[in-house]
Amino acid sequence: MHKILEFQDVSVTRGQREILHHISWTVAVKQNWAILGLNGAGKTTLLKMIHGDLWPTTGQLEVLGGQFGHVNIPELKTRIGWVSTALQDQLHAWESVDQIVLSGKFATIGIYQETTAAEMAQARQLLTDLGGAKLLGKPYAVLSQGERQLVLIARALMAHPALLILDEPCNGLDLFAREELLTRVRQIAQQPDSPALLLVSHYTEEILPDFDHVLLLRKGQVIRAGQRADLLTQSVLSDFYQHQIQLQDLAGERVAVYPG
């Protein structure tokens, strides 16, 4: 497999409305991408397609070497880790954290098959490695937002995915919980067998330097796609947002963006 994703002239229409217009975009192996776009730009729609929850109306889409139309979607889902607050609403909140992490092995909500002690040990180890040992055995429902995100990341890693999608993972996190979570993302990105990472965020400061590529999406169209250093600049982002913005360099090669 040479490519993680390949969109070829993909459009998505819902009712009378074209939500994504002629998207052509390739994610190569070993690249990590951040996706920026204002509300309604089409980011969630794009992610849903990658996850096999939505199909292109026109165009060709290949995910992890499988061409849509030929690929087995439930099998594909087990190779994609998915972290999103939207997923939180679907989980069985009173299940223990251990069970929720383990369910990631099957990419299901809940567990419907026999599991082994080794698999359970693996689930616990994953959460421990991410700094969540103190959460083990607790019901998911009682966790804070930051703790829940950590559990979702462990769940997503359970099946050793080739692609890990982080859909606004810092939503609802306080300042310190956000840094903690980003540190964990960094850890994952720097492992030699790291999955390809795809981050959707509204805030450039969450785009760690490990995200070496950026996709700028506006009103369902790719405005720019390329190297982080070329795109996270004041002039490119002012053009993209169609507003004058100020860009501030932060420690650790991160940047913050403000209107004005």
Ligand X SMILES: Nc1ncnc2c1ncn2[C@@H]1O[C@H](COP(=O)(O)OP(=O)(O)OP(=O)(O)O)[C@@H](O)[C@H]1O
Q: Which residues of the shown chain bind ligand X in the complex (CB under 6 A)?
A: 14-15, 17, 19, 37, 39-45
Round to whole Å and give the CA distance between 206 and 170.
8
Measured in whole angstroms, how far is the alpha carbon of residue 252 from the centre of its chain?
Answer: 21
The nearest distance, CB 178 to ligand X, in angstroms, is 18
Q: CB 172: neighbour CB atoms within 10 A?
A: 15
44 vs 122, which CB is nearer to ligand X? Answer: 44
83 vs 130, which CB is nearer to ligand X? Answer: 83
The nearest distance, CB 40 to ligand X, in angstroms, is 4
41 vs 101, which CB is nearer to ligand X? Answer: 41
Q: Which of 153, 108, 159 is nearest to 135 (CA)?
A: 153
The nearest distance, CB 149 to ligand X, in angstroms, is 17
User: Looking at beta carbons, which pairs linking 223-231 to residues 24 or more positions away fall under 8 Å?
Assistant: 225/25, 228/34
101 vs 200, which CB is nearer to ligand X? Answer: 200
Tokens of 197: 């990472």
The nearest distance, CB 100 to ligand X, in angstroms, is 24
20 vs 135, which CB is nearer to ligand X? Answer: 20
45 vs 99, which CB is nearer to ligand X? Answer: 45
The nearest distance, CB 217 to ligand X, in angstroms, is 7
Burial class (CB in 10 A: 0-12, 13-18, 19+), 54: middle
Round to whole Å and give the CA distance between 66 and 50.
11
Extract the runs of DSSP E, i.e. beta strands, from the chain. 3-14, 17-28, 33-36, 58-63, 66-67, 80-84, 163-167, 196-200, 213-218, 221-227, 245-250, 254-259
The nearest distance, CB 63 to ligand X, in angstroms, is 17
